[in-house]
């Protein structure tokens, strides 16, 4: 399995630190609003990486944080006249609902920054003790960037080039840093802000330290994969490396993976530019599986432009797979003998080539675009080779191949179970009730709902009878 590593700028063979296990950390969202579909890209992409690793037999320990203390959360809380924790808890709950609709599996652990302050104070103290950090007069603790010789290795930036662009590194409130390259580990509280006690001042942590600490706590000093959107390479991930490696004295992450941006009109979709759609906006128009399918139809490192046309194409593509599985289910109901014929066994051998193609595409730095093409080829193969004369075992095996590959991509391509008898009876009773009330509009509506599910009603003298079409 090959993975593109931002650190080396090359595709590398994937070998985990511990055999059969993968320790993976994905930077999660700052929770002050509903997530937009740009934020959904890393969630979908790295969930698919995780699913594929699991398919290949790895046990994946997947950690993804929620940043629940931040200027934007505090601002929103002040606007609503409430506590920042009310805002962050609300949007964590909403984010989890969106993840669920996108079939993003819950992480093994979803730590929250505010629950890990003790660990952050500990790591900051270690950095001070080792001479990598210092306390300014106002109580701010800064990381001494030049004290870490590997600084710049991820973003391939050179300290002196960064220094010459130093003006942009001067942030208001950070006048006491010794060098413009230094960054904040701990900052003093401001009026009306949440704060924690610390040896340096009452205050709160800088953003970068939270990931270093949560990664260490839940995955250990050395992890296999650290991931996020490409905007995080610098400074966030560069700073995480500096903090973790300076404090722990070990290589932090072996592989660094970054997804490209989701763009709109070729500009990054972001809250600050205001050019975004929330996952909820898209959910009003589409089954959110379509959004997942759309995201996976491009390589995760490429930029992806969002458009109505591409979403329609994704909808049609996904529908093609769903229809094929539906047809196979239909054939399965009618199919005769269980045993597979020699001819069918041969065909199934050919079908296995598409599974191999799928795995090869995924082994090549998770090329989901090619992997999905392999699913389409398998669908075409099933449409051509399965018919009323096929045996049940053959049809079932084809169906399981398609649903199995789709499942690795987090796609459910088998329509939900047929409507149950009890649901039909209940709807018929409601229709009778509506007729008694002379609400014929509702009665017709219920007849249509049932017809849509293939249930035909017959009004007889003994009452309503029904049958499946």
Nearer residue to ligand AMP within complex by CB, 33 or 145: 33
267-268/223-229 β-pairing: unpaired
Nearer to Zn ion among residue 7 and residue 27 (C-beta): 27
Pairing of strands 59-64, 21-26: parallel
Of ligand AMP, Zn ion, none, which one sits near residue 211, judging by CB under 5 to 8 A according to partner kind? Answer: Zn ion
Phi and psi for 18 in degrees, rounded to 5?
-115, 130
Residue of 25, 27, 30, 39 lying closest to 92 (CA atoms)? 30
**Beta-carbon contacts of residue 79 (< 8 Å; ≥ 6 apart):** none
Give the residue with the Cβ less far from Zn ion, 64 or 289. Answer: 64
Nearer to Zn ion, 28 or 317 (CB): 28
**Shortest gap between Cβ of 25 and Zn ion (angstroms)?**
8
Instruction: Copy the structure tokens of residue 440.
Output: 């014929």
Roughly how many angstroms between the first and final C-alpha of the chain, as a whole number? 48
Q: Which stretch binds Zn ion (CB under 5 A): 29-37, 166-174, 204-212, 268-276?
A: 204-212
Of 228 and 317, which has the nearer Cβ to ligand AMP? 228
Q: Nearest-CA neighbor of 148 among 74, 228, 242, 288? A: 242
From Zn ion, ligand AMP, none, interface partner of 393 (C-beta below 5 to 8 A by class): none
Query: With the C-alpha atoms ordered 404, 409, 412, 414, is the resulting torsion angle positive or negative?
Result: negative
Phi, psi of 188 (to 5 degrees): -65, 155
CB of 240 vs ligand AMP, minimal distance in Å: 13
- For residue 372, the partner it binds in ligand AMP, Zn ion, none, with Cβ less than 5 to 8 A by kind, is none
User: Which of 30/390 has CB closer to Zn ion?
Assistant: 30
Q: What does DSSP say about strands 183-188 and 141-143: parallel, antiparallel, or unpaired?
A: antiparallel
Question: Closest approach of Cβ 284 to Zn ion, in Å?
Answer: 31
Give the residues lining the site for ligand AMP (CB under 6 A): 27, 29-30, 38-39, 41-42, 228-229, 231-232, 259, 261-262, 268-270
Q: Identify residues 296-325 at the interface with Zn ion (CB under 5 A).
A: none
Shortest Å distance, C-beta 27 to Zn ion: 3
Pick what 29 binds: Zn ion, ligand AMP, none; C-beta below 5 to 8 Å, kind-dependent.
ligand AMP
DSSP structure class, residue 236: I
| Partner from Zn ion, ligand AMP, none binding residue 289, C-beta < 5-8 Å depending on class | none
- Residue 103's binding partner, choosing from ligand AMP, Zn ion, none, with beta-carbon cut-off 5 to 8 A by kind? none
Q: List, in sequence order, every beta strand (DSSP E) within 118-222.
A: 133-135, 141-143, 183-188, 203-205
Q: Tokens 């037999």 appear where?
A: 57
Which of Zn ion, ligand AMP, none does residue 427 bind (CB under 5 to 8 Å by kind)?
A: none
Question: Which distant-in-sequence residues (6+ apart) come within 8 Å of 217 by Cβ?
Answer: 111, 116, 119
Does position 219 interact with Zn ion (CB under 5 A)? The reply is no
In whole angstroms, how close is the CB of 211 to Zn ion at the nearest point?
A: 3
Strands 253-259 and 304-305: unpaired
Q: Rounded distance, CA 462 to CA 52, Å? A: 56
Cβ atoms within 10 Å, residue 126 = 15
Q: How far is the CB of 270 from ligand AMP (least distance, A)?
A: 6
Among 44, 49, 104, 211, binds Zn ion (CB under 5 A): 211
Q: Least distance from C-beta 26 to Zn ion, angstroms?
A: 8
Taking contact as CB under 5 A, which single stretch among the options 26-34, 285-293, 431-439, 440-448 is the one that binds Zn ion? 26-34
**Among 453, 377, 387, residue whose Cα is nearest residue 415:** 453
Interacting residue ranges for Zn ion, rule: CB under 5 A: 27, 211
């Amino acid at each position: 399995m090959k993975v593109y590593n931002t650190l080396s700028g090359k595709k590398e063979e994937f070998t985990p630190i511990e055999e059969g296990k993968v320790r993976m950390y994905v930077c999660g969202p700052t929770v002050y609003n509903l997530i937009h579909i740009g934020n959904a890209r890393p969630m979908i992409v790295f969930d698919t990486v995780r699913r594929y690793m699991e398919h290949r037999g790895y046990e994946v320990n997947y950690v993804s944080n929620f940043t629940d203390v931040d200027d934007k959360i505090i601002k929103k809380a002040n606007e609503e006249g409430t506590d920042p924790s009310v805002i962050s808890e609300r949007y964590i709950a909403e984010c989890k609902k969106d993840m669920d609709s996108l079939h993003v599996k819950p992480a093994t652990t979803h730590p929250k920054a505010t629950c890990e302050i003790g660990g952050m104070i500990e790591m900051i103290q270690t950095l001070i003790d080792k001479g990598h950090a210092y306390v300014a007069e106002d109580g701010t603790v800064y990381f001494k960037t030049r004290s870490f010789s590997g600084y710049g290795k991820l973003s391939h930036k050179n300290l002196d080039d960064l220094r010459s662009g130093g003006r942009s590194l001067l942030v208001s409130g950070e006048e006491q840093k010794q060098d413009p390259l230094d960054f904040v580990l701990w900052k003093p509280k401001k009026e009306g802000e949440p704060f924690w006690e610390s040896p340096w001042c009452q205050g709160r942590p800088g953003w970068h330290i939270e990931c270093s600490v949560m990664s260490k706590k839940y995955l250990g000093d050395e992890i296999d994969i650290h991931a996020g959107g490409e905007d995080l390479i610098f400074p966030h991930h560069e700073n995480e490396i500096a903090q973790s490696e300076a404090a722990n004295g070990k290589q932090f992450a072996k592989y660094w993976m970054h997804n490209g941006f989701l763009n709109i009109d070729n500009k990054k979709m972001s809250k600050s530019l205001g050019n975004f759609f929330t996952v909820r906006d898209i959910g009003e128009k589409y089954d959110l599986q379509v959004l997942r399918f759309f995201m996976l139809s491009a390589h995760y490192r490429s930029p992806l432009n969002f458009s109505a046309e591409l979403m329609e194409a994704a909808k049609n593509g996904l529908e093609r797979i769903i229809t094929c599985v539906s047809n196979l289910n239909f054939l399965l109901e009618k199919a005769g003998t269980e045993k597979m014929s020699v001819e069918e066994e041969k065909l199934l051998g050919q079908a296995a080539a598409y599974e191999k193609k799928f795995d090869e595409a995924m082994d090549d730095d998770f090329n989901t675009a090619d992997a999905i093409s392999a699913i389409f080829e398998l669908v075409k193969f099933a449409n051509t080779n399965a018919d009323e004369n096929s045996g049940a075992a053959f049809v079932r095996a084809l169906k399981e191949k398609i649903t199995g590959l789709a499942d690795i991509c987090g796609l459910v391509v088998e329509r939900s179970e047929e409507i149950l008898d009890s649901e039909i009876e209940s709807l018929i009773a409601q229709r009778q009730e509506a007729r008694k009330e002379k609400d014929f509009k509702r009665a017709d509506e219920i007849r249509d709902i049932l017809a849509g599910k293939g249930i035909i009603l017959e009004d007889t003298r003994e009452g309503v009878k029904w049958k499946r079409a």
